[in-house]
Amino acid sequence: MQTRRLGPFTVSAVGFGGMPLSLAYGSVPPWEQGLLTVHAALDAGITLVDTADIYAPTWDTMGHNERLVAEALRTYPGDTDAVVVATKAGVTRGPGETWGRDGSEAYLRGRIEASLLALGRDVLDLWQWHRPDLWQPFGEVVQTLARFREEGLVRAVGLSNVNTEQIELAAGILGPGGLASVQNQFSPRFRSSRQELELCGRLDVTFLAYSPLGGEGRVGLVASSFPVFAEIGLERDVSPQQVVLAWELAHGDHVIPIPGATRPATITDSARAADLRLTDEEVGRIEAQFT
């Protein structure tokens, strides 16, 4: 499978997003199905698994997805040494399913310790600040992230749900190679983050495209709203979703889409997009549909 650089790591060009296995709009699939789905992702050659402390069915089961990913890696019959697990924190969940944000050093440090426990690790591979906390000066939190790395709690740091100004500021504070990744939403129906994607390319920061198929429950809508993906899929004998992911990959070597899945069949199909190269003519046809 085609690989891409992610901070100090080399990972598959398509990652796996664990969220729907633990935090779904409908019901969360059985644990065993989650394990099989992660195993299918690994079988397909995926070596990047994205999770977060809040990916859990309820506020008092935080860490659910991290524990699931840890068990899937532990029980996988093959070699998992090359698998990079990316997790996040900074979004809060509390009694009554109240959601918020907390970027204080004490809170983030506590969540890193919880993630280390849930994932059964001594150090986290990639740790991402999930969403800026508007009550904390952004630059100060970025300095805290640098400290977490210096202390050896995390090997690489990333940001999520950030704008171009925040990316520039963080890249300046963390210095060359200090900001491994930015994880923002990007799909045919959510293209406004293209400016952040392009900035990441210029700064040599990996861009992790989340909800790359349109987000759970909207995958069919994307296919019907933008028929060009199905047309090209038919011509190339691949699914429309593979064409969507291949179009995202065509934005640059720094882009890694992280599709979610609750079934082995869907993640197996999505993984194939890593080796699907669209021609300039196909990319042009897709872009023409957006104008």
69 in helix, strand or coil?
helix
Find the shortest distance in angstroms from Cβ 212 to ligand NAP: 5
Cβ at position 20, least distance to ligand NAP in Å: 5
Please tell me whether residue 145 binds ligand NAP under the rule CB under 6 A.
no
> Residues 25, 55, 76, 107: which is the catalytic one?
55
Closest by alpha carbon to 59, among 95, 87, 26? 95
Listed in sequence order, the residues at least 6 apart from 224 whose beta carbon sits closer than 8 Å to its beta carbon are none
Considering the rule CB under 6 A, would residue 158 count as an interface residue with ligand NAP? no
Take residue 90 and report the two structure tokens written for it. 């900074």
Q: How many angstroms separate the CA atoms of 11 and 17, rounded?
A: 14
* Of 22, 161, 181, 193, the one binding ligand NAP by CB under 6 A: 161
Find the angle CA(253)-CA(255)-CA(260) to the nearest 5 degrees.
Answer: 140
Kindly state whether residue 269 participates in binding ligand NAP, applying the rule CB under 6 A.
Answer: yes
55 is catalytic: yes
CA–CA distance, 97 with 100 (Å, rounded to integer): 10
Please select the residue that binds ligand NAP; options are 259, 276, 278, 282, rule is CB under 6 A. Answer: 259
- The span from the CA of 249 to the CA of 200, in Å, is 14
Residue in 6, 11, 13, 19 binding ligand NAP, rule: CB under 6 A = 19
Q: Which helix (H) or strand (E) holds 202?
A: helix 194-203
User: Which bin fits 160, alpha (ψ -120 to 50), beta or left (φ > 0)?
Assistant: beta
Q: Which residue, 37 or 144, is less far from ligand NAP as judged by CB?
A: 37
Task: Pick the piece of the chain touching ligand NAP (CB under 6 A) from 140-148, 169-177, 209-217, 228-236.
Answer: 209-217
Output the smallest distance, CB 191 to ligand NAP, in A: 14
Which is closer to ligand NAP, CB of 103 or CB of 260?
260
Beta bridge partners of 154: 124
Among 142, 239, 274, 282, binds ligand NAP (CB under 6 A): 239
Among 4, 7, 13, 20, binds ligand NAP (CB under 6 A): 20
Q: Which residue stretch of 107-115, 116-124, 146-154, 212-220 sits at the interface with ligand NAP (rule: CB under 6 A)?
A: 212-220
The verdict on 70 binding ligand NAP (CB under 6 A) reads no
In degrees and rounded to multiples of 5, residue 256 shows phi and psi of -130, 110
Binding status of residue 49 toward ligand NAP by CB under 6 A: no
Q: Which of residues 74-103 bind ligand NAP (CB under 6 A)?
A: none
Chain residues binding ligand NAP by CB under 6 A are 17-20, 50, 160-161, 183, 210-216, 219, 239, 241, 258-263, 266, 269-270
Q: Would you please indicate which residues are annotated as catalytic (active-site) residues?
A: 55
